[in-house]
Structure 1
Amino acid sequence: MPAPETGSARPGAERKRTVALTHPDRLYWPDAGITKDGLADYYAAIWPRIAPFIVDRPLALLRCPEGIDGPRFFQKNAWKGMNAHIRTLDDPATDTVEHLIGIHDLDGLMGLVQSAALEIHPWGAACRDWERPDQLVMDLDPGEGVAWERVIDAARDVREHLAASGLTPFVKTSGGKGLHVVAPLKPEADWEMVKAFSRTLAQTMAADCPDRYIATITKAKRHGKILLDYLRNQRGATSVAPYSTRARVGAPVSMPLSWEELGQITGSAQFTVNNAFTRLTTLRADPWAAFHTARRPIQP
């Protein structure tokens, strides 16, 4: 990777942004030199790639108004003084008005930047059909003492199981400790079916290889094992979006990968705001280019 830049998200010409940012020089990631303005540059540059994963679907945000070294909190509902470009969404399954959060365009994403949203976690379903997920996420979360190579092996194992069920899996770094294996779905099955499918997958793998995998959240049992977290696949649950930044040291991002390059990746935080754009401009092809045409139905 080229040496990272500081203060800016990417090289090259400035992309057009129309939403004014207050305090654009505020440091969100002091260690990496990433400012609010630098974060806006990053998202403007990768907007065509991130947009299909975050537009017109409910979002949960991790907000850090003073940057990663200050207070932080998750935000799932609209708030007083919210940027005008952020949409409010009303859950059709509830009688009460909840005012969930969503965006419709690049201006909305810039509104999230202005609001210090350093992580973007979308639902697995779009607003056009709240009750039928259009993706399945298996979050591979390594416990203490698990080598990175074992996480890679686990992703390949999940890939084989999903492919055997007729799905087309894709892989990305989480930007934290592990990997996410994501299968695009035709939005036909409901939440309960998708959750049951992913739970069966996790429990089967844990039963087959109990020394390697675990399907329960219990931390006391996770040392030396990889948690196969299937709970991302239930109504209202979220997982970090592809290309979203993470509120962690180094300004890592959740980066889509090709299966062929997976063995060359050295860790989940390898890609950051400072090197992501360089990676994307030097790739011969988008590793997730076929994601939205690869949707398959889950079989009961």
Structure 2
Amino acid sequence: MTPITEVEGRRLALTNLDKVLHPATGTTKGEILHYYATTAGALLAHICDRPVSFLRYPDGPDGQLFFTKNPPPGTPSWVRTVSVPRSEDKNARQVVVQDLPTLIWAANLVVEFHVPQWRVDEPAIADRMVFDLDPGAPATIAECCDVALWLRDRLAADGLYAYAKTSGAKGMHLLVPLEPTPSERVSAYAKSLAVEGQASLPGLILHRMTRSLRPGKVFVDHSQNAAAKTTAAPYTLRARTEPTVSTPVTWEEVEDVTARQNLVFRLGDIAPRLARYGDLFGPLINLNRARPLP
């Protein structure tokens, strides 16, 4: 019998709560739903008012994975969807996760949450910039930290604030709050910094995803600033062997060379971090931190 639960007045059928989705840790779907329920305040702050794309992994990370921007079949009528530009001459509908019932409904589908750098009321007008730092083995997150520090200081020279999080996979994400700016301009600026980084640190930074050049270096992926692209949201679980989370980190953690290899956080780590630090990405939704793009 499928359990029915009520979340803020919405009745939800939650399925397969005992199903193990991360065999390496024995993490069940019920534990994943509990994680999202307890971190909802922080997560919702960063995905509300943005069209959400889902990477679904209903049978765990070793099963079939599929990425969808369209509302999944069976989406309840009370789930908010909006029309967003999908191409020059076509719009499509996407889900907006605004509240706890929608979050738990989506989490029950077993998904990663991905969002663009713009809000639904201003498509292709970015209010933040992102750099995805992707290490090529044998480089690790430690090398990503060095690149993140270079980018932080370079952005500061242009009057911009940067905030770091683990990707929840191998690398890191840097996000920068902006005054609303066309995505094309943000993309061009981000690319220029990646190119400058490669010129400054050619042994460490790449600005193009050239496979033959990747070993031992960090690819600074600026492409996710394009209006059509998305990035894993802060606090989303990832479809990895273990239930890792894309986790905001302090700059002290990034600077601490001895701690860098431990910058891997699982779902059980997040509530204690929120209790200790609060939402380290809070400044991204603080308009006082948004700055104009140079």
TM (normalized to structure 2)?
0.89
Contact 1:258 1:288 in 2 (8 A): no
Which of 99, 106, 110 is equivalent to 2:93? 99
Matched, 1:199 2:191: yes
Q: What is the identity percentage for the equivalent residue pairs of Structure 1 and Structure 2?
A: 33
Contact 1:83 1:115 in 2 (8 A): no
Q: 1:47 offset after TM fit, Å?
A: 1.1
- The secondary structure found in structure 2 opposite 1:108 is helix
The root-mean-square deviation of aligned C-alpha atoms, in Å, is 2.0
Unpaired stretches in structure 1, ≥5 consecutive residues: 1-14
Contact 1:212 1:224 in 2 (8 A): yes
2-side partners of 1:196 and 1:261: how far apart? 30
In structure 2, the residue matched to 1:146 is 139
Q: 1:149 offset after TM fit, Å?
A: 2.8
Matched, 1:277 2:266: no
CA distance 1:85–1:155, change in 2 (3 Å):
farther
- Describe the superposition over 1:128-175 as per-residue Cα deviations: whole angstroms up to 9, x where unpaired: 211211110111111111144322111100101111111110111111
1-side partners of 2:168 and 2:48: how far apart? 21
Aligned partner letter, 1:128: D
Contact 1:243 1:254 in 2 (8 A): yes
Q: 1:268 offset after TM fit, Å?
A: 7.3
Which of 38, 62, 80 is equivalent to 2:73? 80
Aligned partner letter, 1:235: A
Q: 1:237 offset after TM fit, Å?
A: 0.4
In structure 1, the residue matched to 2:82 is 89
Alignment of 1:257-296 (within 5 A): 257-262=249-254, 263=256, 265-267=259-261, 270-281=264-275, 283-293=276-286, 294-296=289-291
Q: 1:76 offset after TM fit, Å?
A: 1.0
In structure 2, the residue matched to 1:129 is 122
1-side partners of 2:31 and 2:221: how far apart? 32
1-side partners of 2:23 and 2:102: how far apart? 25
CA distance 1:79–1:148, change in 2 (3 Å):
closer
1-side partners of 2:142 and 2:279: how far apart? 24
Q: 1:270 offset after TM fit, Å?
A: 1.5
Q: 1:97 offset after TM fit, Å?
A: 4.2
Which of 79, 90, 108 is equivalent to 2:102? 108
- Describe the superposition over 1:235-258 as per-residue Cα deviations: whole angstroms up to 9, x where unpaired: 110111111100001100011111
1-side partners of 2:277 and 2:268: how far apart? 20
TM (normalized to structure 1)?
0.87
2-side partners of 1:147 and 1:81: how far apart? 40
Matched, 1:24 2:22: no
Q: Aligned pairs, how many?
A: 282
| Deviating more after overlay: 28-37 vs 158-167 | 28-37
Contact 1:59 1:121 in 2 (8 A): yes
| Deviating more after overlay: 286-295 vs 153-162 | 286-295
Q: 1:85 offset after TM fit, Å?
A: 4.9
Matched, 1:56 2:79: no
Q: 1:233 offset after TM fit, Å?
A: 0.4
- The secondary structure found in structure 1 opposite 2:272 is helix
Aligned partner letter, 1:78: P
In structure 2, the residue matched to 1:11 is none
Q: 1:108 offset after TM fit, Å?
A: 1.0
Unpaired stretches in structure 2, ≥5 consecutive residues: 1-5
1-side partners of 2:185 and 2:238: how far apart? 30
CA distance 1:257–1:159, change in 2 (3 Å):
same
- The secondary structure found in structure 1 opposite 2:37 is helix
Structure 1's consecutive aligned runs of 4 or more residues displaced over 6 angstroms after TM superposition are none
Q: 1:100 offset after TM fit, Å?
A: 2.2
Higher-helix-fraction structure:
2
